[in-house]
Structure 1
Amino acid sequence: MIGISFYLNDPVAEERIILAGKTGVKRAFTSLHLPEEKGELAERAKKLLHLASENGIEVFADVSYNTPSHLGINDLFQLKDLGVTGLRLDDFFDNELILALSAEFKIAINASILFEDDILTLTSKGLKTDSLIGWHNFYPRKETGLSMEFFRQQNALFKRYSIPISAYIPGAGEKRGPLFDGLPTLEEHRTQEPLLSALQLFHEGVEDVYIGDPDPGEQLLAKLLLFFEEKTIIVRTEADFLHQGTYKLRPDLSRDVLRFMDTRSKTAIAPARTEIRPLGTITMDNHLYGRYQGEIQIALRDLPADQRVNVLGKVLNDDLPLLAYLPPGASVQLV
C-alpha cells in the first residue's frame, strides 16, 4: 500500500489530503501528540481526520494517553469514529489497554527499536500478531537513518512472526521542517529519487510505504500508485526511440536482460546496428535468431555485440537504477 503523511501544522494539509484521495491514496499517517492547549490544533486535528475519512483515506496515528482530552473525546476508542484505523503507541500503555485497543485498531509497534523479546512479551499477554504492524521510524536528522543491514535484520525478525512492515521514503517536493532534510527510514534514501526508494522497500518485503514529508511532489503519488496497483513502471528513453509503449515482462526473470512478452514477429527483421550493449540498451532480435526474431529486451549489464541482436535505443541514465527492482511479470512503459 502507498500512504501519505499529513501534519497539523501544515497550512495546506487539506489540499494535500483531497488531492491524495483523488489520486487514489487509501492510507495516511499523522501524529496526534497534541500540546497541552486544546485550542485550534485540536479542532484542526478533528477536521483533518474527518476530511481524510470523507476522501476514502484510512488514518494511522501516533497517540498518547493525553490524546482524548486534547481532542475533546472520551477515550481512544472514539478515534475509530473519526476515521483512525491504526494506532502507534509511543507512550507507555498498560497491557490491558493495549489488548482492548487491539480489538478495534491495528496496533503499530516500532520495528526500528523493538526486538524479539519485546514481541514475545506482547504476545505472551494475549496480543495477536495479526493485529500488529511493524512500523519503522523516520529520521529527520542527516546521518541517523537506518543502515540497510540493520533494516533487513529487523524485517526478517518481524516476518518470522508474520507481522507486516511499514516504512517511510522522503517526498519529492518540499521537505518537512525544522531540518528540511527529508523523512526517510533508510539513510541511503535521504537524497535518492523517491520512486527508486519505494521500489527498494517493496523489494525488501515492506508491505506499506509512506511518504514521510507532507509534500509528495509532482507526479510521485501517481507513479507509486501505478506501480502498486498495476505493477507498471515508467522508464524514460532517448528522444529518438521509436518503440514507445507498455510492455509486460516475462515471469521468469533472466540474469542479463529484461525480456518483453508478446514482441516476437514472423516478419523478417534484417540485422542492423548490431553493436555492443551497455547497461540499459534496448534491443530487438533479428532473423538470425530464428524463433526469437522480434523479441525486445533491455540489457541489465554490459553485453557484447551480437550479429543476431539489433540495438534500438537506450534507457536514460537517471532511470537505469529502476531496472534492478522490477518484479517478475511487471509492466514497463517506455516513454
Structure 2
Amino acid sequence: MKREIGISIYPEQSSFEKDKEYLDLAKSLGYKVVFTSLLHFVNDSDQESKQKKVLKSIKYAYDAGFYTILDVEEKSLEKLNKSIFFSDFSDIGVSCIRMDTPLKAMEFAFATHNPNEFDLQINMSNNDSLIDNIIEYKPVVEKLSGCHNFFPFKYTGLPFDFFEEANKKFLKHNIYTSAFVGSSFGTMTPAINQKELPTLEMQRELPIDAQAKILFYSDQIKCVIIGNSYASNEELEKLAAVSRYTKEINITLDEGVTKEELEIINSNMHYRRADINEYFVRSCAPRIFNKKSILNKRGEHKFFKRGDVIIVNNLDERYKAELHIVLKDEFENYRGRYNRVGSINLNEIKLLDFLTQNTYFKLKL
C-alpha cells in the first residue's frame, strides 16, 4: 500500500457542517484517511447523541471516498450493536475497526476471516508480542494494520528508540503501519484541554511538516494522521506538500552563496555514498556534473557543526564540488578546502539520522 496522510475528527465536539467543510478541504488536498473515536465518551450520560453525531460525519467521509478508522473497545461495540466477528460495518461508514482494548490473539486472527469487508487495527505502542501471536493463528494479514497511540499529555510521548523496536515487530510481517502528528491549532481531542497529539515526544514542539518527515523518512511508517482537529489550512497544506518517499530536507542559506554553489545545492543527484564515514554525509555526484564550476574559497570558518552544509572548493581540485553535510560538531575545515553554504533547519536536524548509505535526498531552500 502507498504512503498516505490522514486527519482526525471529533464530531461530538463540533457540528456536521464544520466537519463536512474540513473533510472536503482535506480531500481536495489529497488526504485519504479519517480517524475518529467512540471510546472516550462511552460512559457519558449523553453517549447516544454523541455517537449519532460521530456516525453521521464518518458516514459522510466514507461516502466521499475516505478510508475511515473507528477507535472502539468492547463497550463501544455493544452500544453500536456490532461484533467484529459477524457484523458488517460498511452500513455505518467504517472501513477499519481499531480495537483499543486488546483481544486474545486467536480472537483477532479469527475476526479477520469475517466475510464482511472491513479491516482490523492493532495498537503498536505497547511493544509487546501480540502481533507475533496473532500471526501464529493464520489471520488474513491483508486485513490487519498497526497504529501507534497519540499522547496528549506533555512528556508522555514515545522515545524514538522504543518506537523503532515496536515498529520492527510489525514490519517483519509486512503489516501496514500508522502514527500521529499534532496540530498546533486544533483544540478538539479525546483528552479535553490537551492540544498536540503526537506519537513521539520529540515531535511535540515541531511544525507539522517536520513531524511528518520524521515518521515517513524513518521508512517505518506508511500513514501519517493528524491526531487533533481542526488543523489550520496552512498546516493541512504543509503536510500535504511533504514528499513521502524522497527525503527532502530544508536548509537555510548563508549570505554570499554563489551561482555555482546554488546549482550544486539544487542538484537532483544527491545521494549518500555506500562506503559511509562517520563525519559527514557525502554526496559525490556534483563532483562529476559540476567539475568545471569555479568555486573560489569563501569565508574563514575553521570548524563546522552538525547540520552545516559545505562544498569542497578550488583548493582541492580532485574532490571539488562534492557536497557534504556535517554530522559531528567541531568538524575541522582542513586546509580551508570547504565553503559553508548553509545549514539544516534545526527543526529537521533529526532527519540526518535517516540519510543512510545509498540514500537519495534533496535539499530544499
> Same fold by TM (over 0.5)?
yes
In the alignment, which residue of structure 2 is the partner of 1:283? 310
Q: CA deviation at 1:291?
A: 5.0
In the alignment, which residue of structure 2 is the partner of 1:200? 214
Does residue 137 in structure 1 map to residue 149 in structure 2?
A: yes
Aligned 8 A contact 1:170 1:213 in 2: yes
TM-score of the aligned structures, taking structure 2 as reference length:
0.74
Aligned 8 A contact 2:132 2:169 in 1: no
Aligned 8 A contact 1:196 1:321 in 2: no
Instruction: Provide the rounded CA distance (Å) in 1 between the counterparts of 2:111 and 2:155.
Output: 33
Change in 2 beyond 3 A, CA 1:84/1:275 = same
Does residue 44 in structure 1 map to residue 48 in structure 2?
A: no
In the alignment, which residue of structure 2 is the partner of 1:311? 340
Change in 2 beyond 3 A, CA 1:324/1:55 = farther
Residue aligned with 1:271, SS: coil
Aligned 8 A contact 1:274 1:309 in 2: no
Does residue 59 in structure 1 map to residue 68 in structure 2?
A: yes
Aligned 8 A contact 1:223 1:234 in 2: no
Does residue 178 in structure 1 map to residue 160 in structure 2?
A: no
Cα deviation per residue 1:63-89 (whole Å; 9 max; x = unaligned)?
A: 356667866999985432554321112
Change in 2 beyond 3 A, CA 1:165/1:23 = same
Aligned 8 A contact 1:172 1:215 in 2: no
Matching residue's letter, 1:329:
Y
> How large is the Cα RMSD of the aligned pairs?
3.7
Map 1:93-242; keep pairs closer than 5 Å. Answer: 95=107, 98-101=111-114, 104-113=117-126, 115-116=128-129, 118-119=130-131, 121-175=133-187, 176=189, 177-202=191-216, 203=218, 205-217=220-232, 219-229=234-244, 231-233=246-248, 235-238=250-253, 240=255, 242=257
Structure 1 residue runs of 5 or longer lacking an equivalent are none
Cα deviation per residue 1:252-302 (whole Å; 9 max; x = unaligned)?
A: 364413537446241433222252333333333223332543344433333
Instruction: Provide the rounded CA distance (Å) in 2 between the counterparts of 1:307 and 1:239.
Output: 17
Please, which of 4, 9, 24 is the counterpart of residue 6 of structure 1?
A: 9
TM-score of the aligned structures, taking structure 1 as reference length:
0.79
Aligned 8 A contact 2:272 2:355 in 1: no
Structure 2 residue runs of 5 or longer lacking an equivalent are none
In the alignment, which residue of structure 2 is the partner of 1:293? 320
Instruction: Provide the rounded CA distance (Å) in 1 between the counterparts of 2:186 and 2:254.
Output: 29
Q: CA deviation at 1:23?
A: 1.5
Aligned 8 A contact 1:14 1:51 in 2: yes
Instruction: Provide the rounded CA distance (Å) in 2 between the counterparts of 1:99 and 1:59.
Output: 17
Aligned 8 A contact 2:206 2:347 in 1: no
State which drifts further: 94-103 or 44-53.
94-103
Q: CA deviation at 1:20?
A: 1.6
Instruction: Provide the rounded CA distance (Å) in 1 between the counterparts of 2:223 and 2:56.
Output: 25
Q: CA deviation at 1:208?
A: 2.2
Residue aligned with 1:290, SS: coil
Matching residue's letter, 2:98:
R
Instruction: Provide the rounded CA distance (Å) in 1 between the counterparts of 2:115 and 2:363.
Output: 40
Does residue 252 in structure 1 map to residue 273 in structure 2?
A: yes
Please, which of 19, 24, 29 is the counterpart of residue 25 of structure 2?
A: 19
State which drifts further: 242-251 or 181-190.
242-251
Change in 2 beyond 3 A, CA 1:21/1:150 = same
Change in 2 beyond 3 A, CA 1:97/1:246 = same
Give the % identical residues: 25
Residue aligned with 1:184, SS: coil
Aligned length: 333
